[in-house]
Structure 1
Amino acid sequence: MSNIFNLVYNELLKIFIRKSTWVLYGFLTLIIIASGFFAYFAGNERTANYTDEGWQEELQQENAEIGANAEQDVFMLGFNLERMSENNYYLENDLQPVSYGAGQFVADASFMISIVSLLTVIIAGGIVANEFRWGTIKLLLIRPYSRAMILFAKYVGVLSFAIITLLYVTVLGWVVGLIFFGFDGFNPQVIILENGSHRYESVVLALLTDYGYGLVSLIMMATLAFMISSVFRNSTLAISISIIILLSGSTITLILSRYEWSKYLLFANLNLRQYEEGGRVAIEGMTLPFSITVLAVYYVVFIVLAWWVFGRRDVAGD
């Protein structure tokens, strides 16, 4: 057991020792800090404190002001419309809004799971192919470990990188939120917009929900990139195909949705949120058990193909 831990540790070390990895982390840091600036300065209405007795009137007045200025402030139109919808939710459910705090900022920044997925695909697409490109694959395979164990360590290293990066953006989100908006409790209630409707829940539950759905897509795309990297030894091909599916999958699904066979495509089943209440199923006839089954089949195929090809490959000429 200690052997596999050592191998995974070595893979993580190789990932984090590269300058490119720290450039990616710098990119993540800038996005979160920029999001904090935007939420604080451009959306400073959300930091307002509402009085206990007159909060309904204050929300109504805020909506009236947003509506009056909508045509003048086109850049903020989308943000303001969302703000009005949020205010209406408070009014309809007789919920007094709390001031915008660190917890709400972290919940709003859960979109970072998509960016973490993108970076994980980049790592997964090169972790095997680069060994061949750099000529280090022979040195790796002469070690007293089986090829299956070496490939497993690389795969676990990729997923570990994803988890570490996700923890980093979450902690950084809390820090940035505390700096800009202050402390609002360890598990504050936050408002979430999903499928065109709002819900009120704890920030921990909101993050677990968002990250849970996001990890499905992350793992599938990382596994696809890992498989292509192992089979074709081409990091560019692995990264390109995976990123295209990750970024354009929903559009491709929409275009092909009129065909019955399209529901068996990988990208048609990646978004499990479509089965939530109020969600719109991408293709008629699809269900949650169906999508889980399709994803499981793709996952097994990717894993088996990667291990089979890597285990049989002759590296004598590499």
Structure 2
Amino acid sequence: MRLVTISDIRAAAELVGPAVLRTPLLPCAWADPDRPLWLKPENLQPVGAFKIRGAYHALAKLPADVRALGVVAYSSGNHAQAVALAAKLFGVPAAIVVPDNTPQVKIDATRSHGAEVHVVPMTERESRARYLAHQRGSTLIPPFDHVDVIAGQGTIGLEIAEDLPSVETVLVPVSGGGLISGVAVAIKSLCPDARVIGVEPALAADAADSLRAGRRSASWPPAMRARTIADGLRAEPSELTFAHMRELVDGIVTVSEDEIRAAVTLLARQSRLVVEPSGAVVVAAYLNRRDELPLGKTVAVISGGNLDPALLAELLAV
């Protein structure tokens, strides 16, 4: 199994430039002085999440004649939007399969880019996508289990290392593991003394259990992972992403649903950022797991901001 390298990520950075915003590092005035915090606001990307990096890179790497046959993806929402936008930018058709618990705001955004959207039960999203790809002769662009997707997501780590070479801790949301895999490759290559820590909801802590055991856990079925409000963190790592995590990630901490909700509210009020629960888990960990995290300069990767307006209003009303 070939793992992604820093050379792959540097090459990806060249390819994704036309579609990706180089997000800044935002210092937090409300942070602990002993643990200065910078936010990497990927919610500012064109699709409101980091996923455009990996999706666009994967499409850019396809031969033109293969890409012209179209692409298919399955996703809980943000990868769906990213593949839909990347396909639109390349002028090729896209069919996207999403589970029936996907927030409507993400489904609507995916359709707005011209993609064909199929809504299915959560357990059928991958099989339906593979069927559509086979039926149409299109290329399947998975949300994380692909070296080109991982390399694209790794450009986040490359930017962090370039903008804050003295970074000591990087906090990254964990779902299928593509984001933390790519970020960890870049950070460990360029800032080898820095620690890369994953963050998961306690209600979907399959990656944390797997990392502790040294092998992928089979004890977290989809129905259990679906309980968390962090809808973008309900997937489980693949063999490829887990191999990256086992080699490069220093640990994973978990946060509660109440802590996630409070972090969404804090980011809106204190940092003026609209962040979805999946992106807010890193700030929840920063605020509530200090005994499990090292001191020093910390960057929290805010993975996305595609939050249902009704949920945001509910959280801000508390």
Q: Same fold (TM over 0.5)?
A: no
- Between Structure 1 and Structure 2, which shows a larger proportion of strand residues? 2
Q: TM-score, normalised by structure 1?
A: 0.24
- Between Structure 1 and Structure 2, which shows a larger proportion of helix residues? 1
